[in-house]
Amino acid sequence: MKNNPPIMRLAKPMKKGIWRLVFSRIPILLLLMVLQILLFISIFHWFRRYAPHYAVFDAVFTVLMIVYLFNCRMDSSAKLTWMMLIALFPLPGAGLLLYSREELGHRWLKAKEKALIQQTQHYLPQNPQTLHRAERESPATVQLLQYLNRTGPFPVFTDTEVTYFPLGENMLEALLPALQAAKHCVFLEFFIIEEGEMWGQILDILSRKVQEGVDVRVMYDGLCEISKLPHDYPRRLQSLGIKAKAFSPLTPLVSTSYNYRDHRKILVIDNQVAFTGGVNLADEYINRRSRFGHWKDTALMLRGSAVPSLTLLFLQMWNINEKVPDFSPCRLPCNPVPSPGYVIPYGDNPLDEDKVGESVYLDMLYRATRYVYIMTPYLILDGELENALVYAAQRGVDVRLILPGIPDKKTAYALAKTHFPSLYAAGVHLYTYTPGFVHAKVAVSDDRTAVVGTINLDYRSLYHHFECAVYLDRVSCIATIRRDFLHTQRQCAAVTAETIQQEKLGYKLLGTMLKFVAPLM
């Protein structure tokens, strides 16, 4: 990082605490949502008053809902949660279940996403020579590839140089000169953008690139409007010549689409260079601001043949609400960079029934023969993923997990600790990062395969968010990923039988109480 870098700002810092709420539009949104909920409750009470056989209806209805749950495609842990809610609150619980399952508020999004994927298949044809070579050298990767392409296209690539960054500040050091070299387009899609040193330096470069004729597009998740950016921030970016939008911005209508957030982090330059990983565009991610101690994050930079996959992922999301979808940037040339190994960028979206993110992790756990090392900020597991971790450890695989030592969310931290006894008993090695918070989403196995991306080990990431990651097979940076894990582990405290036994009573009680609603968090 240079001394006194230019920092550009388009908005005053967001007000904190009660004043931020008072002087934002959030109270209006909350008030309108509360009024709608009160309307639903009043209708419910009216029904109860005029339904003489309510008890019989209630019992029959509850049984029908439980039968429905047994026969629908849903994780078993989620089924148990819904059964508990329906048992305690039959009509409201059943209504909420149907409301969420009927996909109110985002059916158009699901249809548009599916159509865009089908329309763009031809932009990423699979190189047959690469596929045949992978079939000979890495049949397991080709089998995974076949699964990934159920929701693709996600081809496998060679000739891609992959650089691993063990910290967000390392990524920024490589990102800034790459942005300055942009000649055609710069596409940014991030879950969080917040004004400060990191975004200010990037924005300064982007504003100058627009003046040079570069096509600059910025997209961030609409939840940023709560505490990070003013609701008119896209207009402020557009005043600089930057095309900008918020994905699923907050509205006063009650909709299940609030569940489906754009958690991806993608930055593509000229269809030649791409960045992805856990790093958002805010100062804590580069340790310029301390919120939960030292912030441990990771990222990848791709150069070469695999970059167009991330270009297409960005453009598919960008064009969801465009009247005339435009994928012409996919035609920009991409120069191969001779490098060993196979690279598969892929995405996961909550609008289909394939749990892509979780399935890749499961594939790695089931195929591992020596070790699987994982870093994740959250550990809220469904039964299938917990069983895979336990099974891998019990058959002799060295399974290690690094989690935060300082949590950002006490509820998530408490839920993570509910998994410690069973995982520890099975032989899974658990560590907490003493200096602070681990935000990295990394898995590496057997010195051969790795995944780096945006996908956490929790229900929200695995079931409810748009996500992305890169699967690596025999890529040279895998050795660097393993070394980084071991270096990070040396800064951690090991979880033992004694630390589990001596856990704070508050965390134990909170985790126990939240366990049955974990799939809804």
**What average pLDDT does the segment 273-298 reach?**
97
Domain that holds residue 329: 107-341
Kindly report the average pLDDT of the chain as a whole number.
88
Same domain for 330 and 408?
A: no
Same domain for 427 and 463?
A: yes
Residues 304 and 157 sit within 8 Å (Cβ to Cβ)? yes
pLDDT tens-digit series, residues 380-419: 998 899 999 999 999 999 999 999 999 998 889 999 999 9
Q: How confident is the model at residue 23 (pLDDT cuts 50, 70, 90)?
A: very low
Tell me 273's DSSP state. E
Same domain for 290 and 306?
A: yes
* pLDDT for 450: 98
Same domain for 24 and 169?
A: no
Residue 424 has pLDDT above 70, yes or no: yes
* 10 within domain boundaries: no
Same domain for 31 and 169?
A: no
* pLDDT for 30: 58
Cβ neighbours of 249 (radius 10 Å): 14
* 194 within domain boundaries: yes
**What average pLDDT does the segment 52-72 reach?**
73
* 5 within domain boundaries: no
Same domain for 424 and 311?
A: no
Same domain for 272 and 184?
A: yes
Same domain for 176 and 315?
A: yes
* pLDDT for 19: 43
Three-class SS state of 281: strand
Residue 7 has pLDDT above 90, yes or no: no
* pLDDT for 270: 98
pLDDT tens-digit series, residues 335-352: 999 999 999 999 998 888
As a whole number of angstroms, the distance between CA 268 and CA 253 comes to 33
Q: How confident is the model at residue 307 (pLDDT cuts 50, 70, 90)?
A: very high
* 50 within domain boundaries: yes
* 293 within domain boundaries: yes
Residues 151 and 349 sit within 8 Å (Cβ to Cβ)? yes
**What average pLDDT does the segment 201-205 reach?**
97
Question: DSSP string covering 141-153, please?
Answer: HHHHHHHHTTS--
Q: Which of 101, 119, 154 is the last residue before a domain boundary?
A: 101
Q: Which of 285, 311, 341 is the last residue before a domain boundary?
A: 341
**What average pLDDT does the segment 168-187 reach?**
98
Which residues, at least 6 apart from 203, have a Cβ–Cβ distance to it below 8 Å?
8, 10
Domain count, the chain: 3
**What average pLDDT does the segment 231-241 reach?**
95
**What average pLDDT does the segment 156-161 reach?**
97
Residue 24 has pLDDT above 50, yes or no: no
Same domain for 46 and 162?
A: no
Q: Which of 273, 308, 341 is the last residue before a domain boundary?
A: 341
Q: How confident is the model at residue 470 (pLDDT cuts 50, 70, 90)?
A: very high
CATH code, domain carrying 223: 3.30.870.10
pLDDT tens-digit series, residues 92-145: 777 777 766 665 556 777 778 888 888 888 899 999 999 999 999 999 999 999
Q: How confident is the model at residue 91 (pLDDT cuts 50, 70, 90)?
A: low
Q: How confident is the model at residue 259 (pLDDT cuts 50, 70, 90)?
A: low
**What average pLDDT does the segment 36-43 reach?**
68
* 351 within domain boundaries: no
Residue 468 has pLDDT above 70, yes or no: yes
* 3 within domain boundaries: no
* 8 within domain boundaries: no
Amino acid at 151: T
* pLDDT for 260: 83
